Structure formats: C-alpha cells, structure tokens
Structure 1
Amino acid sequence: MIITTALANEIVARAMAIIHHNVNVIDHHGQIIASGERHRIGEQHEVAREVIRTGKRICINNAAEASRFHNVHPGINHLPLSMTIAW
C-alpha cells in the first residue's frame, strides 16, 4: 500500500517531535513526499533511491559524505516504511 501525503506529513510531524531532527518520507521512486524541510518536497533523493534499489540502510555521517550526492544531507537513510492493514 502506498501511503497518502497526509499520512506521510503526520509521520514527519510526530517523528520530529520525538527525535528533534528532520525527517523525510520518500516514495517508492525516491521522491520526497513529506519533510520537516518543506522546500525539499517533490525533490528526488539520490541515496534513498539506492536504499530502495538495494534494500540496505545507508548512513551519511557528515557534510563531506553528503556532498558526493545530489540533494542529500547527513543522516540515516532507512528501509521503506511498510503497512499492513488488518481487516
């Protein structure tokens, strides 16, 4: 199931309230669909696309590492969110 933009925004808001760092939610094409940095919504995230392709988490530890990629900031790029609907 693909999550809605409204749910993605709620996930960002709640997660940021807990961890006090920016959070992005990225769709299955690598496009940012929700972010604490609103200006990034709609942009492609190069490292997230690699995470989607490989299924492996990627950590970008500093600005020097981030500068090797387009539109990437230091942080942890996790595997996709998954949802199960119980009927």
Structure 2
Amino acid sequence: MTKDKNSSPGDGIRSLRTSKLFRAANFELYVRPNIVIMVLGLIGIAGCSGYLTYMKYKYEKLGYYAAIKSDGTEQFTKKTSRWD
C-alpha cells in the first residue's frame, strides 16, 4: 500500500491506495462523519435505552418475582409480606 500523490495531512487511511473490494468492505473508514446521522442515532439509542429502563421500572413496581416450584417449573408470584 502506497500513498496517493494528492493526499493531505490528516487524511489517515483515505490516503492509502487500496482495492475497491477493501473500500466496499470497510465503507465506514472512507466516508466523512455526518453530524445529522450521528445525532439521530444517539437519539434513537437514548430513546430505546430510556424505554427499556421505563419498562423495567414498571415491571418491578408490579411486585412479581420468578419462583421455581418443586417440580422445576417457573411461576411468577406476587410478593407478599409475612405479616399479611
């Protein structure tokens, strides 16, 4: 791999001559970062993480837990106090 003649400092791997197959397989190494797409991706990931956290909170608030019966099956049982 040799450097192109019209490369500038800071080009990194873009300045190396590579095959078209390598460029196709490693597309993300050759494209410039797109701020709009990165922001949309971060919003999507944050939204999914927030939704999963919300669902876990709501599930734990219901008070059910997985209890394993003597025959090995799993049953969801509501938490109760010994004082009830």
TM-score by length of 2: 0.22
Greater relative contact order: 1 or 2 (C-alpha under 8 angstroms, separation 6 or more)? 1
Rg comparison, structure with higher value: 2
Structure with more helix by fraction: 2
TM-score by length of 1: 0.22
